[in-house]
Structure 1
């Protein structure tokens, strides 16, 4: 049993039929994206009929978990059951497992993936992908470490851009860690003690960010926010990114005035596909240093070697027409 649909992505990296392994899931299609869910359903039709349980962000029902009777119940660390609920679930003979793709992914994502590999009897496949991911991340970290006098540009990354009033941001954790990994300075980490939070436009302007990046997806469409992903054309993504850049306050930022505005699919975060986000951030933050890093080639290798359901569509975009195939 999984309490977050994005764990399907992780399973699809280490299993030929990830859906067959799922006893129940939240049917939180928005966390996968509609097009991605449709691709899963086309290949594995039983996904639509799997029992529905509460998502990690919702109120847990111990009765639901026990009724499903899974071999293991997998929860997001920090949002899962409390001590008494764990006791009740385990008393029913169901092991409780916590994994973390969200709060501190650079520390915990690989360990979490290897736990999943052990649970499904595919430790070698999990280790193979972990090694692949580690190699891509080390290419970035080692180059950053080997660059004397590296200047870290100030980065404002707006999470779920346009979904709510300005402005959601990573703090000390989550995608903020990838900004640091890629050689940037996350302005959100200066004032937000947790993994995420909200910044006021006055603070953002005073922090004078040099790079502006938005994340979004189909889940922001209802609010008129930034949309990106397989459901949308590159032009639709670029047009919505332009709307985000034109908002009062945001439009006054120096990188926005220069037209240096970038957008990333939020579905690449909080999953082992984080290497794509890391590579794309590296290209945006230090374009000369990482000119040879090609996230599109990484997508092709992921699809050929690992993913049971291929990653397709527009997953990153620049306001100016530039970049690689996944942004065009």
Structure 2
């Protein structure tokens, strides 16, 4: 090659996405225990969930390598978050939608037509695939499973590292895994120091449909497992048969929790929801939380009488930044041990360091200012 061509070639190569230069088969075990081989860094990705985790780990530029998503899990479930990300990642608006396993709209045919290098799914999404799993396997499309729902330190760290491996972002993934582990363990140490004589009794409910509808509560996953991790007595334990579902109102009154958490968000077409997220504010969050205190019999609950009623964004129940939700809840349960912890400031700092969208709005609020 003539010498004068070399600088031109080098400059051209530097402008190309790293995935077009460095992709090679990488074998690893995903969170479900399955051995998977992926051409990594992947340059054609279909992403079924955990969009913000993907962004934090791989960076906003990695969306150039995403060819399809399960849109309902983002635009439908967290419309406010979706709107903010579309502003900074415009290609999301026209991103092909492959359907969603949660509502049985997922289409293996649509995924196959996109010719992805990999399909990334949460464990609950993978379990719901049914016959589609065989279709995708027959088409030679590797499926990588991650799991932030379990709310275990081990699975959070493993999921983060798996996403880093798939996208060639191991260093960033390790940084985020180390951050999560540090924050998680700090919460555990502080709780151990509290030496509580009795477990604080807590009830958590999904505030999607308003106070006149009994929303899901949780056990052994998401908010339920988080409460267990925090040393709380989750009143849903032993009272609901599945991992989530409504709890009889009489059971809530009989349990008489010390604290009540209503999970809010920016759901689409849910006018009575507890409103949280980028476009909300503390006053709006409190105004939409207040109707829960008017439920029949709730004036007798210790949590209501002592104004121990709180709301957190539901999306914080299964993310890389859910340590801020842990901090917030722990701060209510063990105020002396968490007096110097500022969960809102931590969430803001995570945005500044790892996300392309600016922090704004209201994400975790106590009824009493």
Match of 1:130 among 177, 198, 205: 177
From the CA coordinates, give the structure whose radius of gyration is larger: 2
1:121 aligns with 2:168: yes
* Cα distance in 2 for residues equivalent to 1:161 and 1:206: 24
**Which structure features the higher share of strand residues?**
2
185-194 or 169-178, which deviates more: 185-194
264-273 or 223-232, which deviates more: 223-232
Determine if contact 1:8/1:19 at 8 Å carries over to the other structure.
no
1:296 offset after TM fit, Å? 2.4
Match of 2:100 among 55, 59, 73: 55
* Cα distance in 1 for residues equivalent to 2:101 and 2:317: 16
The CA RMSD measured in Å over matched residues stands at: 2.1
Structure 2 counterpart of 1:24: 68
1:155 aligns with 2:198: no
Match of 1:179 among 224, 227, 233: 227
Structure 2 counterpart of 1:256: 304
SS at match of 2:222: coil
Determine if contact 1:172/1:192 at 8 Å carries over to the other structure.
no
Please, which runs of 5 or more residues in structure 2 have no aligned partner? 1-45
* Cα distance in 2 for residues equivalent to 1:66 and 1:293: 47
Q: After superposition, what is the alpha-carbon deviation per residue over 1:64-120, rounded to whole angstroms, capped at 9, x for unaligned?
A: 110111110112213325464323212212101121122445442221121111000
1:287 aligns with 2:335: yes
Structure 1 counterpart of 2:262: 214
1:223 offset after TM fit, Å? 4.7
The TM-score, its normalising length taken from structure 1, stands at: 0.90
Structure 2 counterpart of 1:8: 51
Q: After superposition, what is the alpha-carbon deviation per residue over 1:166-205, rounded to whole angstroms, capped at 9, x for unaligned?
A: 1421112221121122231111123234432220111111
* Cα distance in 1 for residues equivalent to 2:66 and 2:133: 20
Determine if contact 2:123/2:147 at 8 Å carries over to the other structure.
yes
42-51 or 220-229, which deviates more: 220-229
Q: Report how many residues are paired.
A: 319
The TM-score, its normalising length taken from structure 2, stands at: 0.80
Determine if contact 2:118/2:144 at 8 Å carries over to the other structure.
yes
1:72 aligns with 2:106: no
* Cα distance in 2 for residues equivalent to 1:237 and 1:147: 30
* Cα distance in 2 for residues equivalent to 1:161 and 1:47: 25
